Amino acid sequence: MLAFSLKSQDIATITGKIVNQDNEPVEGATIAIIGNAKGTVTKSDGTFILKIPANKDLEIGITFVGFEPIVQKFNLKKGETVQFNPTINKSTTNISEFELKEEKERITTMVKIQPNLASGFISSSGSFETILKTLPGVSSNNELSSQYSVRGGNYDENLIYVNDIEIFRPFLIRSGQQEGLSFINSEMVADIEFSAGGFDAKYGDKMSSVLDIKYKEPEGFSGSATMSLQGAQVNVGGASKNHRFTYLTGVRYKTNRYVLGSLDTDGDYQPSFYDIQTYLTYDISEKWEIGFLGNIAQNKYKFIPATRQTEFGTINEALQLTVFFDGQEVDQYSTYFGAISNTFTPKDNIELKLIGSFYTSLEDEKYDIEGAYRIDELERDLSKETFGDVKYNRGVGSFLDHARNRLDANVFNLEHKGKFIKNKHTTFWGVKYQREMIVDKISEWGAIDSTGYSTPHPSDSVGYTDPNAQTNQLLELNEVLKSRVDLNSNRYSGYLQRTWKWEADSIKFSASFGTRANYWDYNNELIVSPRGSFTVIPNWKKDFLFRLSGGVYYQPPFYREMRDFDGTINQNIKSQLSYQGVFGVDRNFKAWGRPFKFVTEVYYKYLKNVIPYEIENVRIRYYAKNNANAYAYGTDFKVNGEFVKGVESWFSLSIMKTQEDLTDDFFQLTNDLMRQYFFRIIYLNYLVSLCI
Q: Quick one: CA torsion of 465, 471, 473, 478, rounded to 10 degrees?
A: -120
**For the chain, which residues score pLDDT lower than 50?**
1-9, 93-102, 690, 692
Q: Where are the domains of the chain?
A: 8-83, 111-462+475-662
CA distance linking residue 9 with residue 578, whole number of Å: 81
CA distance linking residue 413 with residue 166, whole number of Å: 9
CA distance linking residue 520 with residue 525, whole number of Å: 6
CA distance linking residue 411 with residue 432, whole number of Å: 13
CA distance linking residue 299 with residue 361, whole number of Å: 11
CA distance linking residue 235 with residue 280, whole number of Å: 14
Which tens digit of pLDDT belongs to each residue from 126-157? 677 778 888 888 988 777 778 889 998 888 89
Q: List the one residue out of 629, 552, 645, 544 whose CA is nearest residue 591.
A: 645
- Identify the bridge partners of residue 537 per DSSP, sorted by sequence position: 508
**In this predicted structure, what is the pLDDT of residue 74?**
86
**In this predicted structure, what is the pLDDT of residue 77?**
84
Sign of CA dihedral 638, 532, 132, 193: negative
**In this predicted structure, what is the pLDDT of residue 94?**
43
**In this predicted structure, what is the pLDDT of residue 675?**
61
Q: How far apart are the first and last CA of the chain?
A: 105
Q: What is the distance, to the nearest Å, from the Cα of residue 601 to the centroid of all Cα atoms in its chain?
A: 22
**In this predicted structure, what is the pLDDT of residue 610?**
93
268-286 b/e (C-beta count within 10 Å ≥ 16 → b)? ebebbbbbebbbbbebeee
CA distance linking residue 34 with residue 614, whole number of Å: 74
Who contacts 23 (Cβ-Cβ below 8 Å, separation ≥6)?
87
CA distance linking residue 22 with residue 44, whole number of Å: 16
**In this predicted structure, what is the pLDDT of residue 619?**
81
C-alpha dist (Å) from residue 506 to 535, 539, 586: 14, 6, 19
Superfamily of structural domain 8-83: Carboxypeptidase-like, regulatory domain (2.60.40.1120)
CA distance linking residue 59 with residue 187, whole number of Å: 46
CA distance linking residue 183 with residue 197, whole number of Å: 22
Q: What DSSP letter does each residue of 42-77 carry, written as one string?
A: --TTSEEEEEEESSS-EEEEEE-TTB--EEEEE---
**In this predicted structure, what is the pLDDT of residue 423?**
83
Q: What is the distance, to the nearest Å, from the Cα of residue 173 to the centroid of all Cα atoms in its chain?
A: 16
C-alpha dist (Å) from residue 595 to 191, 539, 598, 651, 666: 21, 19, 10, 15, 56
Domain 111-462+475-662 part of CATH 3.30.540.10: no
